[in-house]
Amino acid sequence: MSQEPRERTNGESDGAAGGESDVTYEQARWSEGEAYEPLLIEKDATSVSVDSSLPDELTRDELELPAMREPEVTRHYTRLSQMNYGVDSGPIPLGSCTMKYNPRFTEDVAAHRGNRVHPLRADDDKQGILRLLYELQETLATIGGMDAVTLQPPAGAAGEFTGIQVAKAYHEANGDDRSEVIVPESAHGTNFASAAMAGYDVVELPSNDDGRVGVEALEAAVSDETALLMLTNPNTLGLFERSIEKIAELVHDAGGLLYYDGANLNSLLGKARPGDMGFDIMHFNLHKTFATPHGGGGPGQGPIGVRGDLAPFLPTPQVREGEGEGGCETYEPEHSIGRVHEFMGNWLVLVKAYAYILRHGDEGLENVSETAVLNANYLAERIEYDVPYGPFHHEFVASADSDAADVAKGMLDHGVHPPTTKWPEIVDEALMTEPTETESKARLDDLAAAFNAVAATDPETLAETPATTAARRIDQASAARTPRLSWHTLE
């Protein structure tokens, strides 16, 4: 990066000088000190008569709705936003599941009136949309080194499952009944889940001493039963698999396929392509690589790419250039596994990814990766925690000298989102951190200062954090097992 240092104000820390964070952070709290903003229905409600032609068993006699003016509703949601933390507030360096800033120009492009096209219109009547989809397919194929791409899967995990289904159909078409999927121990949890959901036995592959896939361990694991090896490269420690060509050779010699988890593709743009490494199938995480929305349940999109002999098994419909005057058409691949999502998936997410790629161009996408790698290594050098591996690509994993969960809670009191904790398990008390390319050097210094301030805090004090947030420390186990999914539960 070539940014000049900025003047710090309002008590911001001088992280570059190695000082601790002295930022005063207080998250908004409303309703006379209570830790929540009342629901609209709690503020003001009125009963509205319901007149419907539906059968009686499907209707209510009356419906209780908030009766509020627009300014009150606007202020309610503004207060909620002030009690929360989002990527517009600051970085979310949540390693592996990182959310990076989404540039606003993509929202403008997606909101263009030309995108308001009903999906059931005939191909001849939506040529602009089909052309965009076709060009995005081809662009992603070029970026990934793949021969064909489907845009349908609505998330990265859905892309994984779709890719495994394509592999399964391919093996079955070849009369090959295989029962196992090999997954490294540091892989994303969705890899294990996707393989199991597809009906495979999961073989966990241990890492070697340098945090990478051990070739000897793979030789022992691979067999005639191997359908796939699912691999993230760089892996979840931020390390590039240096033996990737040998790994691909071992899997292919056994008749298996090599699957690329695209969660970390943002560190390779313009530098390396999964297809050139020997991968047969991959998915693209559009949110982290191409800055489409992530979190909050969606919307998402997780296209998959495949080598040529797997293309006939892709979901339907696909888009191709038709005969004649350069038009595009939809079609069903010869041995398609069927639909995995209605229509073309989350259409406007694809528009945003397409706009992001065009805005950057080849040189810009390469700079994205260069800056993501630079930022991760810079931050890893600035923090006062043990970082057992390196150098890194997009992310790093530090080891806390106390409970990593307490470290995460303590960071909230410094106005920053904490990293992923306790995973991967091959690092004790792991702090998995990915700053992405969107953060400036000054903000990385602030992040480092927050890390270092927490490192200097005694464990007893840390166990009582956070103290400055709208919601204090919660019972995470109960929240995960018995979530309140409706405001009715407050009654």
Give the model confidence (pLDDT) of 116-169 as tens digits.
Answer: 888 888 998 899 999 999 999 999 999 999 999 999 999 999 999 999 999 999
Residue range 219-241: mean pLDDT, rounded: 96
CA angle 309, 276, 214 (to 5 degrees): 105
Q: Which of the 8 DSSP states describes residue 113?
A: G
Range name among 291-295, 431-435, 471-475 with the lowest pLDDT average? 291-295
Bridge partners (DSSP) of residue 386 are 399
pTM above 0.85, yes or no: yes
Domain with CATH 3.90.1150.10 in the chain: 92-101+361-481
Alpha-carbon dihedral sign for residues 1, 141, 336, 117: positive
> Alpha-carbon distance 100 to 290, whole Å?
10
Segment among 32-36, 295-299, 333-337 with least mean pLDDT? 32-36
**Looking at the domain covering 107-358, what would its CATH class be?**
alpha beta
- pLDDT value at 396 more than 80: yes
pLDDT surpassing 70 at residue 32: no
**289 pLDDT above the threshold of 70:** yes
Calculate helix-pair angle for 127-144, 347-382, nearest 10 degrees.
30
- Side chain identity at 72, as an amino acid letter? E
pLDDT grade for 63, boundaries at 50, 70 and 90: confident
Joined together, the tokens standing for residue 449 give 């200062």
Which of residues 254 and 25 earns the better pLDDT score? 254
Those residues whose C-beta lies under 8 Å from the C-beta of residue 368, and which sit 6 or more positions away, are: 266, 269, 360, 437
Give the number of C-alpha atoms closer than 13 A to the C-alpha of residue 64, restricted to the C-beta side.
8
Q: Which CATH class is domain 92-101+361-481?
A: alpha beta
Find where tokens 């999927």 sit: 181
DSSP-based helix, strand, coil % in the chain, nearest 5: 40, 15, 50
Which burial class, exposed, middle or buried, applies to 46 when counting CB atoms under 10 A from its CB (0-12, 13-18, 19+)? exposed
State the DSSP code for 343. Answer: T
Question: Exposed, middle or buried, 335 (CB in 10 Å: 0-12/13-18/19+)?
Answer: middle
DSSP assignment of 227-267, as one string?
A: EEEEE-SS-TTS---TTHHHHHHHHHHTT-EEEEEETTGGG
Over its C-alpha atoms, the chain yields an Rg (Å, rounded) of: 25
Q: How many CA atoms lie within 13 A of 111 on its CB side?
A: 5
Q: Where in the chain is the domain with CATH 3.40.640.10?
A: 107-358
pLDDT at 324: 66
Instruction: Decide: 162 and 318 in contact? Cβ < 8 Å.
Output: no
**pLDDT average, residue stretch 455-477:** 91
Per the CB < 8 A criterion, the answer to whether 230 and 274 are in contact is no
Whether residue 69 is predicted with pLDDT greater than 80 in this model: the reply is yes
Q: What percent of the chain has pLDDT over 70?
A: 92
Whole-number pLDDT of residue 472: 85
Q: Does residue 170 carry a pLDDT above 50?
A: yes
Residue 218, amino acid: L
Q: Is 306 exposed, middle or buried (0-12, 13-18, 19+ CB in 10 A)?
A: buried
State the average pLDDT for the chain: 89
Q: Is the pLDDT of residue 18 over 90?
A: no
Task: Decide if pLDDT at 5 tops 50.
Answer: no
pLDDT tens sequence across 360-369:
999 999 999 9
By the 10 Å C-beta count (0-12 exposed, 13-18 middle, 19+ buried), 188 is classed as buried
pLDDT of residue 49: 74
Helix (H/G/I), strand (E/B), else coil: 329: strand
Determine the pLDDT at residue 27: 87
Return d(Cα 439, Cα 70) in angstroms, integer.
35
pLDDT of residue 467: 92
* Higher-pLDDT residue of 239, 33: 239
Confidence (pLDDT) at 35: 57
CB burial of 230-244 (b: ≥16 within 10 Å; e: otherwise) equals: bbbbbbbbbbbbebb
